[in-house]
Amino acid sequence: MPPDPFANDPNDPASFLEPDEEFVPPTPEEIVALHEDLSNVRLFRSLLEPRGIRGIGMVCEDCEELHFYDWEIMEYNITSLLNNQAIPVHEPGAKTNPDHYVSWDYCLGYADAAGAMETRRWL
Chain residues binding Zn ion by CB under 5 A are 60, 62-63
Nearer to Zn ion by Cβ, of 12 and 42: the residue is: 12
Burial of 58 (0-12, 13-18, 19+ CB in 10 A): middle
Q: How far is the CB of 46 from Zn ion (least distance, A)?
A: 28
How far apart are alpha carbons 123 and 114 in whole angstroms?
A: 15
Contact 103, 36 (CB under 8 A): no
User: Please, which residue, 32 or 60, has the CB nearer to Zn ion?
Assistant: 60
Beta carbon of residue 43, minimum distance to Zn ion (angstroms, whole number):
26
Give the CB-nearest residue to Zn ion. 60
H or E segment and range at residue 39: helix 28-48
Strand partners, 55: 70, 101
Residue type, 22: E
**What's the closest the beta carbon of residue 89 comes to Zn ion, in angstroms?**
6
Toward Zn ion, which CB reaches closer, 9 or 62? 62
- Minimum distance between the CB of residue 21 and Zn ion, rounded to whole angstroms? 17
- Output 69 or 71, the one with its CB closest to Zn ion: 69
Residues in the chain: 123
